[in-house]
Structure 1
Amino acid sequence: MTFVVLATEPGDPTAELDYSAGTTLLDRLLGQLAALKVADVRVIARPRAAEVLRKNGADARGLEIIESADVAGDLREVGRLARAKGEMVIAHGDLVVSDELLTRLVRDKTTTAVTAKQPVSGSRPAVRIAGRRVVSAGSRYHQVTDPDGVFRGLLKIVESEALADVCERLTMLVDMLPEVEPVRVLGRERGKSLDVFVDNTARDELDKAVRQHRDLGTTAPAEPDTAALVLVGLVRAGIRVTARNVDVLVCERALDAAQAAAAREAVEAIDEDRVRLDAAVKGDDGWFTTYFVSTYSRYIARWAARRGLTPNAVTCISMGTAAIAALWFADGSRLGLVLGAVLLYFAFVFDCVDGQVARYTRQYSTLGAWLDATFDRGKEYLAYAGLAVGYGATHVGDVWGLACAVIILQTCRHMVDFSFAVHKGSVPPAPIRELPLDVPDDSLLDPAPAASRHAAPRKGLGMLAVRASAALENIPGARWGKKIIILPIGERFALIALTAAFFDAKVTFLALLAWGGLAAAYTLSGRILRSLA
């Protein structure tokens, strides 16, 4: 991967502006890239900035400086590097970015732009986002209709050939493009389109620490934004560009000393380890998992990670705990059922911890995903077997028929869920219309043209169900009710543990059949109606 730094702003903030005593903005960025083991770094600089960088020892550090006189030259060099080097990250050298955010972007596998949901002004390029995708991007020469965010000057591109072609077209056009108003407002309401991607509980508190710095983002760059032009070209060429919202973390250009100081203060106000830890917790878990496990499991995950435990090791601990729980269930006594219930709960806790360790340490593997899914079923079915054995040892008769019925029901439910998820994932996203780069108005990029915006809403039972489901999301408690009714794994393990501890295996299996049957009917009808819609 090649990292291209743009040192193109008059006044040379990249080369001369201090982030801290004796450390320039560029020094800090290079240190971050070295920590990430990014070896191929190129700096595209104006002649004066290049001279300052060389005087400061850039050549001795092995840093390649590419002189460029104007934006057309910047684009030409970016296109050349794209054809020669492939995957690329483009960033302004005067950018102050949190370590965690830069790490996420460098390791991203898609073409991604760092964006922010903040008031749109002329100081930063505007964007419009739908479904976590940038559907329109702006520059001095390209408008954005009804923008809902800004581009922060950090862009990763994996489609190198497409990038090279875009840069070639822009190079020929940029000197002839007239400047336009950056924002075009139609006055219509837009839905929530820029979501919080990964940051959860840290967001509210840490947002305040960042947004109190009014110096940030208030000064418009003097030079046209090369990175923004590249983003416009990619979007208008139909390339899918994922929007990564900064929200809690910092990503701002510092164009003067006051902004550099404010950016440093914003970075230091954030506990990035806490942000990463909160990001390790899924934001869409079930009610039981959210309130009875995730409130503390993240700290177990951090403890495990700091002691070198891998996600797969935690998965095996979870499986082993479930096996011991099943042995206690097989004892059949009240003590055995209670101890089995407690151990099954902690087996589920470790089941959550393994994924959190993987996300916290960024250790992902196909083996880990397979083990996690396989052991989830294994833990559940071991518990059923243990309960059935224990019931037979302490009661007249057995419950093996009920146990088999529960296993068949759960297997059918998993089959329906997995097949539906695979089908949804196989549907390609709606394409964005390609638009020439010499057209300032972006209205043709709108995935919902004016004619269809005012069209009559679609009817039918399927659409009625979709609208009802969406309406329930806005009713307090209804969202959790929808999650609970489908009996996800957290609620299922809780149901097994509680009914086993307070009653017996027969009650456990009957409860699972009753609730599981309701969940299957609800889920299956919902899948059918959504498919029709």
Structure 2
Amino acid sequence: MTLAVVVATEPVEAAAAGGPASTAELHYGDTDQALLRRLLDQLASLNVHDAHVIARPETATALRHPDEAADPGHTVVESYDIAMDLREIARLAGAAREPVLILHGDLVMSNEQLARVVHDAKPGALALVAGRRPEGEPTRPVVRTKGGLVVSAGSRHHQVTDPDAEFRGVLRLAPKVAGELAAAAKNLADLVGTLPESEPVRTLGEARQEVSRFVDNEAVAIERALRERPAAGSADTALGGTPPRGDDAPALLLVGLVRSGVRVAARPVRDLVCDRVLTVGQVSAARAAVDAVDEDRVRLNDAVKGNDGFFTTYAVSTYSRYIARWAAGRKLTPNMVTSMSMAVAVVAAVWFSEGTRLGLVVGGVLLYFAFVLDCVDGQLARYTRQFSTLGAWLDATFDRAKEYVVYAGLAVGSTAAAVGTAAHGGDVWVLAVAALILQTVRHMIDFSFEAARVRAPAAPLPEVPLTDRDDSVLDPPPRPAGPARRSGGLGQLAMWLSARTERIGGLRWAKKIVILPIGERFALIAITAALFNAKVTFLSLLIWGSLATAYTLTGRVLRSVAR
């Protein structure tokens, strides 16, 4: 369950006699098209039924159901000013035992974007951000990010030095940080009347623009097309072109959290839609922006891991995502697909044990499809958001079991093959056991290193008084004039080289291939078995695996020394 606090306090226009529908009707009307009601319906569809709407008295009546018992989906709270807004949020967050969601009532969001926020399983706080619009002054609260965190946040009373993104009005806090939200809200409620107005941006030179981290090219093209429509010739009809006129409690809360030292993750909106609709003219643009994005395609593409190996990326994930969607449509669970992958690997091992050329070819093909299903189970889990401890354990266990049962099948088939045929490799059990031991040692190196790593606690973020207008304490360090000098021995040099090579596509892929990850191992087994025999397969595994072990072990030692 999730507690949602919807801040619907933006001033609204009055409808002109005989004119178009007012912003009030579009936001808070009785029709299903009203923006706030659409947002509440979206929350209800995600099983968020505990929603509290904070509204000004002039709109609270329109939002309150005549018979509240008949409409338990949300509670309307009347508030007269920003201080009351913050105190109500503090009361709700202080009593919360579930995740807390803070968002504006005039937001238009893609269903997928809202679902990602609601279902986020991270234990801390997050804020939705998007790259700054390059033209003109910012119309949304600006933030500066670093390392995936919001390190400085702005409001009408607080500046941000060299911002690189905008806050899109959505906060989510796990239960363990709801107390910090309540404390920040109480503190702000006491101070809000005394805070001075401020310009939003302070520049220390050339601002660091990292918009590409937050904005998808397709979303940029969609927004540009909407802005360039003939009917959309002014900020009144352009999304993001109109600054809010009312109080902004979510932005103040983000400032309060960041300045009190809470680690707030910066979650990019990327190619989905999340923006406030503040005028009548922007309603159609917002709906067009939502309709222009294929949310299922976005969700499907994001189900594919971005850091897979070369073989997995180019020989499997190019189409396995569509198998995952097909499986989702037939109500298959990730654990079912994991079990299917194990079963196909066992059948491949049986074919390998035949000791014939046909058996080796068929076994190689089946092993490839066993690996495809191994990729599909994770993609299906991410696509359907079905995660479990059992699933993670099954996936890791069956990965080892599939590989070792194939080793056994190849060894049996090599002995059973007719002498003199290409499939005959002789007694390769010693090689099979050696390959199994080598792979076990590799897993031990990886798992023990991760378990033994001394993870230093995250450095506490500096606390900045809310009464300070600028964020001087949080100023980014000046950029070095030339290449930084590297020191600290061989370990530091190795880490620096590793980081630099990650930026070079060919070297990055070479590093992934040389460590012989599971995709490359299964491909090596399938190809060498189909073209040659089990002896060649095991020798290839031992030679490449030894090189991978030496490379990995050297890297682990150097990293340990560097730390």
TM-score by length of structure 2 reads: 0.88
> 1:34-433 maps to which residues of 2 (within 5 A)?
34-54=44-64, 61-62=71-72, 63-86=74-97, 87-109=99-121, 110-119=124-133, 121-158=137-174, 159-187=177-205, 190=208, 195=213, 203-214=216-227, 215-394=238-417, 395=424, 397-423=426-452, 426-433=455-462
Deviations 1:357-411 (A, max 9, x none): 1111111000000000000000011111111111111247411111111111111
User: For the structure 1 residues 192 and 222, does the alpha-carbon distance in structure 2 shift closer, same or farther, using more than 3 Å as the test?
Assistant: closer
Contact 1:43 1:65 in 2 (8 A): yes
Contact 2:132 2:211 in 1 (8 A): no
Mapped to 2, the partners of 1:193 and 1:407 lie a distance apart of 47
Confirm or deny that 1:11 pairs with 2:12: yes
SS at match of 2:226: coil
Q: Which range moves more in the overlay, 410-419 or 27-36? A: 410-419
Deviation for aligned residue 1:428: 3.2
Mapped to 1, the partners of 2:162 and 2:479 lie a distance apart of 17
Contact 1:15 1:25 in 2 (8 A): no
Mapped to 2, the partners of 1:335 and 1:451 lie a distance apart of 62
User: For the structure 1 residues 526 and 313, does the alpha-carbon distance in structure 2 shift closer, same or farther, using more than 3 Å as the test?
Assistant: same
Deviation for aligned residue 1:453: 10
Equivalent position of 1:516 in the other structure: 545
SS at match of 2:127: strand
Mapped to 1, the partners of 2:184 and 2:11 lie a distance apart of 25
Contact 1:281 1:298 in 2 (8 A): yes
Deviation for aligned residue 1:466: 2.1
User: For the structure 1 residues 189 and 495, does the alpha-carbon distance in structure 2 shift closer, same or farther, using more than 3 Å as the test?
Assistant: farther
SS at match of 2:435: helix
Deviation for aligned residue 1:195: 3.8
Deviation for aligned residue 1:528: 2.2
Mapped to 1, the partners of 2:481 and 2:149 lie a distance apart of 19
Deviation for aligned residue 1:231: 0.7
Structure 2 gaps, min length 5: 14-21, 228-237, 418-423
Mapped to 2, the partners of 1:59 and 1:194 lie a distance apart of 48
Q: Which range moves more in the overlay, 342-351 or 470-479? A: 470-479
TM-score by length of structure 1 reads: 0.93
Q: Give me the CA root mean square deviation.
A: 2.5
Deviation for aligned residue 1:335: 0.5
Deviations 1:223-278 (A, max 9, x none): 23110110111111111211110111000000001222111100001111111111
User: For the structure 1 residues 4 and 396, does the alpha-carbon distance in structure 2 shift closer, same or farther, using more than 3 Å as the test?
Assistant: closer
Contact 1:327 1:386 in 2 (8 A): yes
Equivalent position of 1:491 in the other structure: 520
Mapped to 2, the partners of 1:289 and 1:108 lie a distance apart of 26
Contact 2:131 2:210 in 1 (8 A): no
SS at match of 2:169: strand
Contact 1:132 1:194 in 2 (8 A): no
Q: Which range moves more in the overlay, 342-351 or 4-13? A: 4-13
Equivalent position of 2:235 in the other structure: none
Mapped to 1, the partners of 2:47 and 2:463 lie a distance apart of 36
Match of 1:24 among 31, 34, 43: 34
Q: Which range moves more in the overlay, 501-510 or 462-471? A: 462-471
Q: Which range moves more in the overlay, 382-391 or 43-52? A: 43-52
Deviation for aligned residue 1:211: 4.2
AA in 1 matched with 2:125: T
Mapped to 1, the partners of 2:83 and 2:23 lie a distance apart of 20
Structure 1 gaps, min length 5: none
Mapped to 2, the partners of 1:48 and 1:125 lie a distance apart of 26
